[in-house]
């Protein structure tokens, strides 16, 4: 039997980063992955393939709608070859997961393919595809088994017409009418992919606004932009049945008045969040406790009730974000090595990769109000930037919330071009507890989208933005 200092179960952005960091710190490390490729949901059927399709569909939309304005004339019809687009997406995935294989080899991490399940607190059985089982021993074990798409109890997913995000990434045809149940990140991103390619898209959301976990101002602006893009956005609608009738899907819901409404489309994407995945883990054999939502219970050091077993990422409490899982993977490796790392969860940014992109870090206005914290807000519209006019990306704004007394930045909320990249400046500022005036006095290159951060900081500092 092979023995290790650390065994990691799951090779997503939490698991593989944990394994690399353990190896860097001199620990003999193994990683166990049930699927044939490393990288978990994110690299295989999540973050990476969805961004590939978002980029491809964005190029198509630019060609059809905006090239002529830029003086670029294309003779003949611009067509979508969906098969080729999906193949490019898969090539991106293959290259990225292959990169993880290289990193495992480079760091001398032993890779086991198969379903890892606990025998006890220090032994893991690995059930391989060929039917054989191998057992390994580890002084420390990190659970990084991730999450799977959630479903509603009355919906039967046939994975052909009634689908999850996994199937939406490899459709054989462009839907005529895609009904998206859930106005969160995944549904909106994939909805926009197919809207750009020509589908009619209807988003049905139970809550009173889309992207409900983000600042209300962002929800309002994204709704406005999506309606301009001819999305149908229906909030405060409770879906109560989803049925397939031949090649059609019939969705029934109650609207905010309690009236039944019916929708018909050829595809229905069920995007109602994700659930922690511990199927087959056999956590009870190691004595590891799960909570009532199926998450592994951990303390502030991500340690389970069994002292040598840790858990990270989507399988524990907190936001289900790849970068949050990676931070936790590094932290646990360092804790095992006797170091004293920390994570400030308030400074884990959230991003929606639609266009315009949406990004945020820190507290929302409602959270500050609920906590009774006096704050001031500075907001700057993207359309006031020369860079935005040059690229024709005029939608959105950046909003900075700062403490009314100390001027410390408490939250940054943005929607606009490249917001996913711009949010990093806000994270750095807040990590160093910068004031709005600190950021306002930093030089920002001109012309850039980042100038909107400076202007929003100026607006939060005695309302002195320069370009509005």
Q: Beta strand 200-204 with 177-181: parallel, antiparallel or unpaired?
A: parallel
Between β-strands 2-9 and 29-33, what pairing exists: parallel, antiparallel or unpaired? parallel
Determine the Cα–Cα distance for residues 210 and 302; give it in Å rounded to an integer: 31
> Which residue out of 66, 70, 446, 467 is catalytically annotated?
446
From residue 273, alpha-carbon distances to 130, 186, 209, 403 in Å are 33, 8, 15, 33
Dihedral sign for Cα 345, 313, 41, 107, please.
positive
> What is the full DSSP assignment across 147-177?
EEE---TT----SSSEE-HHHHTT-SS--SE
Q: Residue 342: is it exposed, middle or buried by C-beta count within 10 angstroms (0-12/13-18/19+)? A: exposed
For the four alpha carbons of 389, 391, 395 and 397, in that order, the dihedral sign comes to negative
Instruction: Give the count of beta carbons closer than 10 Å to the beta carbon of residue 166.
Output: 16
120: β partners: 123
Q: Residue 102 has what DSSP assignment?
A: H
φ and ψ at 16, to 5 degrees? -70, -35
CB 25 within 8 A of CB 338: no
Residues 300 and 437: their CA atoms lie apart, in Å, by 33
Q: Count other C-beta atoms under 10 Å from residue 64's C-beta.
A: 17
CA 388, CA 381: separation in Å to the nearest integer?
A: 10
Mark whether 446 is an active-site residue. Answer: yes
Active site residues: 446
């Amino acid at each position: 039997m092979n023995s290790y200092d650390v065994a990691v179960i799951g090779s997503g952005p939490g698991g593989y980063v944990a394994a690399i960091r353990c190896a860097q710190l001199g620990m003999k490390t193994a990683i166990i992955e049930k699927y044939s490729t490393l990288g978990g949901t994110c690299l295989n059927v999540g973050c990476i393939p969805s961004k590939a399709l978002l980029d491809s569909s964005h190029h198509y939309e630019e060609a059809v709608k905006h090239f002529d304005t830029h003086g670029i004339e294309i003779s003949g019809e611009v067509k979508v070859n969906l098969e080729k687009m999906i193949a490019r997406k898969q090539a991106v995935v293959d290259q990225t997961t292959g990169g993880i294989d290289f990193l495992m080899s480079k760091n001398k991490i032993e890779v086991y393919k198969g379903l890892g399940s606990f025998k006890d607190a220090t032994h893991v059985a690995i059930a391989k595809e060929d039917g054989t089982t191998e057992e390994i021993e580890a002084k420390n074990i990190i659970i990084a088994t991730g999450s799977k798409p959630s479903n509603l109890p009355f919906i039967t997913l046939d994975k052909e017409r009634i689908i999850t995000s996994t199937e939406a990434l490899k459709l054989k045809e462009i839907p005529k009418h895609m009904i998206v149940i859930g106005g969160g990140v995944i549904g909106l991103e994939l909805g926009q992919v197919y809207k750009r390619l020509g589908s009619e898209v209807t988003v049905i959301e139970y809550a009173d606004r889309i992207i409900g976990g983000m600042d209300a101002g962002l929800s309002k602006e994204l709704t406005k932009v999506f309606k301009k893009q001819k999305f149908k956005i229906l909030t405060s609608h409770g879906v109560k049945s989803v049925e397939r009738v031949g090649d059609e899907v019939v969705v029934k819901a109650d609207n905010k008045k309690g009236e039944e409404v019916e929708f018909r489309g050829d595809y229905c994407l069920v995007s109602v969040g994700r659930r922690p995945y511990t199927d087959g883990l056999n956590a009870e054999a190691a004595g590891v406790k799960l909570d009532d939502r199926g998450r592994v219970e951990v303390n502030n050091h991500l340690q389970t009730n069994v002292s040598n077993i840790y858990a990270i990422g989507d399988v524990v409490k907190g936001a289900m974000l790849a970068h949050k899982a990676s931070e936790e993977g590094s932290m646990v490796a360092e804790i095992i090595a006797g170091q004293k790392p920390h994570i400030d969860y308030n400074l884990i940014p959230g991003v929606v990769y639609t266009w315009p992109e949406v990004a945020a870090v820190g507290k929302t206005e409602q959270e500050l109000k609920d906590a009774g914290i006096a704050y001031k807000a500075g907001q700057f519209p993207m359309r006031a930037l020369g860079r935005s006019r040059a690229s024709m990306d005029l939608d959105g704004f950046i909003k900075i919330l700062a403490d009314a007394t100390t001027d410390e930045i408490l939250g940054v909320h943005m929607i606009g071009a490249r917001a996913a990249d711009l949010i990093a400046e806000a994270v750095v500022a807040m990590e160093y507890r910068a004031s709005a005036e600190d950021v306002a006095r930093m030089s920002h290159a001109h012309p850039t989208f980042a100038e909107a951060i400076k202007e929003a900081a100026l607006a939060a500092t005695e309302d002195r933005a320069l370009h509005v």
